[in-house]
Structure 1
Amino acid sequence: MARLRAIFIGNTFISSYSLGKFAPIIVKMKIVILGPGAIGSLWACCLSRAGHSVSLWSQHQCDSIYLQQEHFPEIQFTSNDKDKLTSADLLLVTLKAPKVLPVIERMVLDIAQETIVVLMHNGMGTAEAIDTLLPNNPLVIATTTHGAFRPKPNQVLHTGNGYTELGGYNDGGKRCDFLQPVFEHALPKTSWQTDILTPTWHKLAINCIINPLTAIDQVKNGELSSLKYQEVITLLIDEIRQVLNAEGLPVTREKLVTTVHQVIEATSDNYSSMYQDIFHKRPSEIDFITGYLLQRAKAHNISAPVNQTLFQKIKQIEQDHD
């Protein structure tokens, strides 16, 4: 017998039927994507083709943005439309971490209390601030390993298949597991995690190694498999593992070593996001990656000198750029 699951989000009635092997029926949602960079543009195209009403919110003042993903037809999205924002069921935030709080602070009066806010970016530390700023909104954290690249302002390429994990940060967010089929239908694979902080911490651990090392030496991810990096990677892993264990994540050193090298191999031809920021002389997400790790290390009275050295090197490079 079919089981009906339903929920109201703003003015939208969301329902899905569990019909054994059949996929859920997904009702169209009103979605605003804040920060249409590479990954935001990819999700915009995929969610739009999946039948949802998608609009964009860009830091560039424009009424519409055209995007084309690979061979698919070009899509015209409305941009910076306050009516779309105030009526949104879902606000998907794909801005880089340093921009999240200041940008949402400027938008806060136009975000309805019923709007679900999904944070999808590298690093940690923004959820606490956004939960304080929007205490009544359901807040969800998302991590994704899908690759995206924008060779032109109106073109986005899906450069690597990956997976997306979603999970609630606050009480309202923890009741939003119905988002899993919405994201899965648009861009598989997607899973709902009852404890989203564990995969988020694991991703942070990987980013603490790959991002600063590739950014400082301006190398592809695959270069980190060479012998010259093994000693520093080992030292970084030992420091990171202590922090994860103190945070209540009992990960072993062997598990971290295996995971880090698997990611290095799987993304060997990629340039990390921090590499690209440093290359283009843009501010990086170091404060929300290694910086966040160092904050938690200090809270637990854990020494992390190797991570501290990488953090200071990136900050020095950014200062030289300024």
Structure 2
Amino acid sequence: MANIVIVGDGAIGLLYSHFLSTGNQLTIVTRRGCRQNKYYYQQNQQQHRITAKVLTTQQLPELAHQPIDMVIFAVKAYQVSDAFKQLKPYFSAQCSIVLSHNGLSNLAPLQRQLQSQQALFFLTTRLAGFKITPTTVTHTGNGESVLGSCNAVAAARYQDVMQQLQGLPNISFSEHITLLRWQKLLVNIAINPLTALHNVKNGALTAPQFSGKIVNVLNEACHVANLLGVNVQLADALANAYQVMSDTKDNYSSMHQDIAHSRMTEIDAMCGYICQQGQQLGISTPHNQSLVDAIRHKKSAI
């Protein structure tokens, strides 16, 4: 039985917690001010209490009582650095650190803080959920979850970690996690900003009025990826994006929900990342920049 800590009680964090609570000792870390029970619900089924200890960030010293085998950071990209600093004192010497968020970011600052036997992984997922209350997630979509190693220790130890994560539906391991992260990024930049700006569900983006913008932002992103040595093609990116729009047609994107609830968005780790990499490469990315500007303006105008 592994001692697993999941940082973040958003929809994905609670879905992970539900599936991993069987066969593991689980702790959920929340920034909220109370240690309420968490619940999982699937349509036409009974609501289940997630078997996990709940700690607020002020109660983290309780983690010192038992070494942590794995920490899964299921928080926004911009929250990872601070969350990592808070949890780092409680990592065991051979702890596995798993990142799971939208967008792309530089992993080097985290890698430099790890001890020699601490493994760093990235977990992408197509599980979908929606929090119907602050403590309850409803499971709205299935899909594969893919784990990839981000340092040499992780590459050598991935089979043990896969065993610990076997409770996740459709879990697999890939040696090409960078490519998979880019593929997910392309889906995110095609869906998240536009649903947030136009206040629509994912499926609405299949309408012809959005096609030009989607093609333009993905074309820029694919060009940047190719220059960085990542082999992605515009036709594939479009096909993947429209497939996800169809599969999740009744869902609201995470960025839509962030805007709706006046929260900070992950636009800097999505379109902003494309703009940042484009600037370093000396190429223009005006379509992605326009979405960055529009989301920032909409957020500030709320």
TM-score normalised per structure 2: 0.90
2:13 maps to which of 32, 36, 40: 40
How far apart in 1 are the matches of 2:275 and 2:26? 37
**1:181-192 alignment, distance < 5 Å:** 181-183=163-165, 185-192=166-173
Q: CA deviation at 1:126?
A: 5.2
Secondary structure of the 1:172 match is: helix
Q: CA deviation at 1:112?
A: 2.8
How far apart in 1 are the matches of 2:87 and 2:214? 40
What RMSD over aligned residues (CA atoms) do the two structures have, in Å?
1.8
1:225 maps to which of 206, 209, 212: 206
Cα 1:67–1:126 change in 2 (3 A) is: farther
The answer to which structure, 1 or 2, has the higher relative contact order (CA under 8 A, 6+ apart) is: 2
Letter in 2 for 1:196: I
Cα 1:191–1:114 change in 2 (3 A) is: same
Secondary structure of the 1:122 match is: coil
Instruction: Write the deviation string for residues 114-152 of structure 1: whole angstroms up to 9, x where unpaired.
Output: 211000111111533322333542110011010112212
> Which residue is equivalent to 1:104?
84
Secondary structure of the 2:26 match is: strand
How far apart in 2 are the matches of 1:320 and 1:128? 34
TM-score normalised per structure 1: 0.85
- What 5-or-longer segments of structure 2 have no aligned partner? none
For structure 1, which segment, 200-209 or 167-176, has the greater mean C-alpha deviation from structure 2 after superposition?
A: 167-176
Instruction: Write the deviation string for residues 95-123 of structure 1: whole angstroms up to 9, x where unpaired.
Output: 11111111222332232332110001111
How far apart in 2 are the matches of 1:126 and 1:31? 25
Q: CA deviation at 1:75?
A: 3.6
**1:1-322 alignment, distance < 5 Å:** 28-49=1-22, 51-62=23-34, 64-70=35-41, 71=46, 73-80=48-55, 81-84=60-63, 87-125=67-105, 127-136=107-116, 137-178=118-159, 179-183=161-165, 185-321=166-302
How far apart in 2 are the matches of 1:188 and 1:181? 13
How far apart in 2 are the matches of 1:135 and 1:240? 34
How far apart in 1 are the matches of 2:222 and 2:104? 16
Instruction: Write the deviation string for residues 207-242 of structure 1: whole angstroms up to 9, x where unpaired.
Output: 111111111111111111111111111211211110
- Which structure's CA Rg is the greater one? 1
Q: Report if aligned partners of 2:145, 2:172 keep a CA contact under 8 Å in 1.
A: yes
- What 5-or-longer segments of structure 1 have no aligned partner? 1-27
For structure 1, which segment, 80-89 or 215-224, has the greater mean C-alpha deviation from structure 2 after superposition?
A: 80-89
How far apart in 2 are the matches of 1:75 and 1:223? 33
Instruction: Write the deviation string for residues 151-178 of structure 1: whole angstroms up to 9, x where unpaired.
Output: 1233222111111010111111222322
How far apart in 1 are the matches of 2:51 and 2:127? 23
Secondary structure of the 1:176 match is: helix
Identity %: 31
Figure out how many residues of one structure are paired with residues of the other and give that number. 291
